Structure formats: C-alpha cells, structure tokens
C-alpha cells in the first residue's frame, strides 16, 4: 500500500458521520501512515478531540493560532508536511469555503495552503448535495484537481433517503491510495478480465474452475489508481465490485466473456487477460434439471473460442498481457503462448496461486526478457505487471 509511511492530515468537519472519521483514523494508522488530525469547532459537537487524538496517535489540532513548535505556524506546517489531506466528513460548508478560498479556521486554512493532493469525502443532507451552489462548488474543485469520494446513497440521519451518506471508510481508504499513486497510466484505457467462467450443463450445474478473480480485481484497482480508465469484465466471483470509477461488466460463460471483450477491445490500449476462461463447454446444455435416471451420464464437451488468441490476431496498437497456467515446463509453455497468441507480456504461474491471496509468477516479455518473482500478495503482483506495461510502452 502506498499509504504506508505517508503523512496524512485528516481534517474532520461537523457532520453526524464524524464518528466514522475515528474508524478511518484507525485504519490509516493500521496501514502504517502517520495521521495528523485536525478538527473544526463544529466537529467537536459530534466527536471529542480526545477520541480522535487517541485513534490517530497524534494530538488533534483545532486552533488556527497555535504555534506548531520552534516558532513554526500550525497551518503552514501541517499543509507542507502532508503527503495527502483527507477531509472526512466534508460538509457543504467546508466545500464552499475551499471552492471560494475562504480561510477562517484551521481546516480551511490547511486546505488553502496545501501543495499535496486533497481528498474530500462529502457528507450532508441529499437536498444540500443537490443544491446547485454545492454542485457548482464541487465541480469547480474537481476541475482544479481536488479529489472526491462519494457521497454514497442510502438512509440519511435527517430521515431522508438519497445521496449524502459518507462513503464507507474502505472506499475512502481506496480513494486515498488512488490520490497518492503516481499517474503513469493516465490516458490509457485498460481492459482487464477476471475470474472463472461457467459453462452450463443444465440450469443448476456447470463446468468451471477454482479461479477466485483476485488477480484480475487487483489489476483493475491498481490500473485505476495509476490513472487509467478501466473496464473490468468478470466471471462469477465472491468478490465485492471494486469501488471507484471502473466500468464493471459481469459475465458467466466463455462466450459471454468473448462477446464483452469484443465490445471493449477496439477502444482499449492495454488488455490484461487474467480470467481463467473455460477451454471446453458441454455440447448440449439441458433446458431442465437432469434427473438421476441413467446409471451413467456422459457429457460431451466442445472447445470454446480462445479470447486472447482472437484479440492477438486483431491486434493493432494494443498492449496484450496474457497469463499462462502451467503444471509442467512453465517457461517453455509460457513462451509458446506468448508467440502463438501474439502477446507483449506473459505472466506464467502454477495452479498454487488459483484460489490464494499470494501468487508466485514469472514474467516473460516479447524481447524474451525473463524475471521470476518470489511469492507475493496479488496486489503487489498487479503493480509489478503494470510496471512492466509502463516500462515496455515507454521504451
């Protein structure tokens, strides 16, 4: 996680959801960030400085006219040491102040003096969020490069239902990661496939495999954080849909995966085929549940279309990354797949990584450069794959 070892100024303003900022502070500390909390006077109506200081492991500051130590000025000191400033919850009031350059308390002054990225997590009544003045302020800040996460939709403390809830803290963490990341995939349109496919035998049975989808989801998140526009085409998985601005397409069979890829392929600049697409499907899919009448049942299988091979044939400027799942002759088979499917990079692995948090992979690129990594979490492997994409595309 890039959050690790970063200095994060957490600004809490006065909304009922301020209590969730305590959990956010805890998660940031758990991710090994240094959290410097700041709160407005109205935030103090909802949570105490003591709770925030305790969970952030640093004293919560409130006063604009405090001296930071050795004659340094608090707001300038905070604004300049921050790698990231998170405003959570962000009220309509603080958004308005930031959009108009008003600095009349420590939070608004830190935002105005910031040179680091600023991430707002709005929280307010749905009518306030829809107010054209608030909308205008948000648009102005977005145009100026400020980051936003949420608000989420749902039940609001004021009794209304609608857009206005503070985003879940996990989504704020993800948005913080994204705001901190180097944007070396900006301008790229990345298509990622993930998970297994299911080939129906009858309405309740299918042929599938043990892929969890974790590798593809990690790739989609990482590409998004690095500035790419991302389309994630996913077979059936138990994973939550990734948060953030990702086009998410759910498919079931190899044929559906193929059709979705054909739709998004022409406009993509990078394709990473992490899905474990079925190679065979039942010739016949029964319309009703097969009853156990016969002593034996033979299911005849036929080949599905190889989606990656198809894309390799149509390749124009796209950068194509494939996986090779091998139980023997790993490098030799992976090299053959790279050649036959017209790939730029192949990620070779064994079935040990299929339904696991970790994987151990070997990269082979089209120049035949080969690198074997130790077993690593899939988030880390995703970053290494994207490092290779950037390296080769800019070479």
| Positions that interact with ligand CTP (CB under 6 A) | 254, 273, 275, 277, 279, 304, 306-308, 322-325, 337
Q: CB burial class (10 A; 0-12, 13-18, 19+) of residue 302?
A: exposed
Closest by CA position to 99, among listed 142, 140, 145? 140
Residue 255 backbone dihedrals phi, psi, to 5 degrees: -65, -40
Closer of 166 and 274 to ligand CTP (Cβ): 274
Distance between CA 21 and CA 313 in Å, rounded?
Answer: 51
Please state the closest distance from residue 305 (CB atom) to ligand CTP, in A: 6
Catalytic residue (one of 11, 126, 158, 261): 158
Closest by CA position to 24, among listed 16, 12, 13, 15? 12
Q: Are 128 and 28 in contact (CB under 8 A)?
A: no
Distance between CA 281 and CA 279 in Å, rounded?
Answer: 7
Look-up of token digits 């600049």: 269
Question: Which residues have C-beta within 8 Å of that of residue 353, sequence separation ≥ 6?
Answer: 215, 359, 360, 361, 378
Please state the closest distance from residue 316 (CB atom) to ligand CTP, in A: 18
- Residue 96, both tokens: 């308005």
Closer of 171 and 279 to ligand CTP (Cβ): 279
Please state the closest distance from residue 110 (CB atom) to ligand CTP, in A: 47
Please state the closest distance from residue 196 (CB atom) to ligand CTP, in A: 10
Closest by CA position to 150, among listed 133, 170, 162, 164? 164
Does the active-site annotation cover 126?
no
Closer of 120 and 323 to ligand CTP (Cβ): 323
Closer of 93 and 306 to ligand CTP (Cβ): 306
Q: Are 72 and 41 in contact (CB under 8 A)?
A: no
Please state the closest distance from residue 384 (CB atom) to ligand CTP, in A: 16
Closer of 19 and 310 to ligand CTP (Cβ): 310
Q: What amino acid positions are annotated as catalytic residues? A: 158
């Amino acid at each position: 996680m890039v959050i690790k070892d970063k200095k994060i100024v957490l600004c809490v303003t006065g909304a009922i959801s301020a209590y969730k900022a305590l959990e956010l502070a805890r998660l940031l500390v758990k991710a090994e960030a240094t959290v410097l909390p700041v709160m407005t006077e109205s935030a103090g109506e909802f949570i105490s400085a003591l709770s925030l200081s305790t969970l952030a492991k640093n004293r919560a500051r409130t006063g604009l006219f405090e001296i930071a130590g050795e004659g340094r000025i608090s707001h300038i000191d905070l604004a300049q040491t921050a790698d990231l400033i998170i405003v959570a919850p962000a009220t309509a009031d603080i958004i308005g102040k930031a959009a108009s350059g008003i600095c009349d308390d420590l939070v608004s002054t830190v935002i105005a003096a910031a040179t680091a990225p600023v991430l707002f997590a709005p929280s307010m009544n749905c009518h306030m969020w829809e107010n054209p003045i608030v909308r205008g302020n948000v648009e102005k800040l977005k145009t100026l490069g400020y980051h936003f996460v949420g608000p989420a939709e749902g039940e609001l403390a004021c009794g209304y239902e609608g857009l206005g809830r503070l985003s879940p803290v996990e989504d704020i963490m993800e948005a913080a990661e994204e705001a901190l990341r180097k944007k070396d995939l900006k301008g790229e349109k990345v298509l990622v496939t993930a998970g297994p496919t299911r080939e129906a035998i009858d309405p309740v049975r299918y042929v599938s495999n043990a892929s969890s989808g974790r590798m593809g989801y990690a790739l989609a998140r990482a590409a998004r954080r690095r500035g790419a526009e991302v389309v994630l085409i996913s077979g059936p998985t138990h994973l939550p849909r990734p948060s953030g601005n990702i086009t998410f397409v759910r498919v079931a069979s190899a044929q559906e995966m193929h059709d979705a890829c054909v739709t998004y392929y022409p406009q993509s600049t990078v394709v990473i085929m992490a899905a474990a697409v079925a190679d065979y499907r039942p010739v016949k899919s029964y319309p009703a549940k097969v009853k156990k009448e016969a002593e034996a049942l033979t299911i005849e299988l036929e080949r599905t279309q190889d989606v990656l091979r198809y894309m390799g044939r149509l390749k124009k400027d796209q950068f194509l990354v494939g996986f090779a799942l091998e139980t023997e002759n790993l490098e030799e088979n992976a090299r053959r797949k790279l050649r036959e499917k017209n790939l730029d990079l192949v990620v070779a692995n064994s079935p040990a990584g299929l339904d696991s948090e970790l994987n151990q992979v070997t990269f082979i690129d089209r120049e035949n450069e080969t690198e074997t990594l130790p077993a690593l979490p899939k988030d880390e492997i995703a970053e290494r794959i994207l490092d290779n994409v950037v390296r080769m595309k800019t070479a």
